[in-house]
Amino acid sequence: MQEIRNSFNRYNDWTVNGEAISEEKVLKVRNGQAYCVIDGCGGVDIMTGNPRCDPTRKQGCESQNEWSAEEISDIEGRIHTAVTVPVETQIRGNHRVLNLEEVRKYLEDAWLIVLMDCTCRVQMRNCDFPVHTCLRLNERGEQALTNDRLGALNPGKATVEEALAILDQSHKAGLVHLALAVDQEGINEICSCCSCCCLVLSAAVRSGALRQVLTFSAVAVTDSSRCIGCGVCVERCQFGARDMGNGGVIFDPNQCSGCGLCVSTCPAEAITLEKKGI
């Protein structure tokens, strides 16, 4: 048990109120893995233990611990899938891809759009990316407006054009758009994520389980004859799919999410997105 716990703490350097997750919270050990109970919804306690978290927002986020087991179970039961949303329009192939035009359709069909602060960046504060970037639609948006626990995240109604403008701004800033379907009826959350704060993205990148966590519909393709080796795409990539070496850019397609961050800023226009089967 101690060996497993030490391994767990080495992998996850987050702490709760400055202390490592206690051994008594380990529920079971199976196949060399420990299964633990943590307080909070979505790791809120882990993140709000971060001293960089603003005290006022921290208080609002910590109140999510008041959610009942029934509420949390209901949310978990309705989560269907999450996909990355590429912005670039130069995509080859015949398979369907969730691009910004399709996101526009979801926004236009929504009877309510709510713009709010990103819970992950508010609580983690590991970067200087924009915070007021996340969108919730319909019932999820209504929950954000009426739930006092989320008031610290500054939720407010937004128009379709305002929402699209936010997505465009966050893309230019270098954030990855993740579309989350909390039920089978379609997308009802669109987050603009960074791998240094986002629970989903950081876990996927750090664990190397990108394909197990997220669904991708495209992958970046580089025309080596046009690539000038400037490294802009390396700086933009949130997934560690690109690095500099051997006199140029080294690309690992297995780490690519098809988000399009590299495509829109390549000065040589050497990168495009190619559709792939999901």
- Which distant-in-sequence residues (6+ apart) come within 8 Å of 14 by Cβ? 43, 46, 47, 49, 50
Q: Between 95 and 66, where is the model more confident?
A: 66
| Residue scoring higher pLDDT (95 or 65) | 65
Longest dimension (CA), the chain: 57
Amino acid at 168: D
DSSP 8-class letter at 149:
G
* Cβ atoms 179, 163 nearer than 8 A: no
More confident residue, 1 or 51: 51
HSE on the CB side for 167, CA within 13 Å?
29
User: Given the structure tokens 């192939």, which residue do they identify?
Assistant: 93
Taking the CA atoms of residue 117, residue 69, residue 185 and residue 208 in that order, the dihedral angle to the nearest 10 degrees is 70
pLDDT digits (tens, 9 = 90+) for 113-168: 999 999 889 888 889 999 999 999 998 899 899 987 788 899 999 999 999 999 99
What pLDDT was estimated at residue 275?
79
Residue 90 has pLDDT above 90, yes or no: no
**What domains does the chain contain, in order, with CATH numbers?**
2-38 (no CATH), 55-213 (no CATH), 218-275 (3.30.70.20)
Cβ-contact 84, 177 below 8 angstroms:
yes
Dihedral (Cα; 270, 271, 274, 278), 10-degree rounding: 160
Q: Is pLDDT of 241 > 70?
A: yes
Helices 100-109 and 160-173: crossing angle in degrees, nearest 10, is 150
The answer to whether 36 and 28 are in contact (CB under 8 A) is no
CA distance 214 to 209: 9
**CA of 259: how far to CAs of 41, 100, 161, 178, 179, in Å?**
27, 11, 21, 9, 11
**What pLDDT, in 10s, does the model give residues 208-224?**
777 767 777 788 999 99
- Residue showing tokens 């999510």: 64
233 versus 86: which is more confidently predicted? 233
Of the pLDDT bands very low, low, confident and very high (cuts 50, 70, 90), residue 231 is: very high
How crowded is residue 53: how many other Cβ atoms within 10 Å of its Cβ? Answer: 18
* Higher-scoring residue by pLDDT: 111, 63: 111
Question: Does residue 89 or residue 138 have the better pLDDT?
Answer: 138
Q: What is the pLDDT of residue 48?
A: 41
Higher pLDDT, 153 or 36: 153
Residue with the bigger pLDDT between 42 and 34: it is 34
Q: What is the DSSP string of 215-258?
A: B-SEEEEE-TTT-----HHHHH-SSS-EEEETTEEEE-GGG---
pLDDT for 151: 83
Count of beta carbons in the 10 Å neighbourhood of residue 135: 29
Q: Cβ(218)–Cβ(257) under 8 Å?
A: no
Residue 176 above 80 pLDDT?
yes
Helix (H) or strand (E) holding 161: helix 160-173
Q: Are 112 and 138 in contact (CB under 8 A)?
A: yes
Which comes out higher in pLDDT, residue 204 or 198?
A: 198
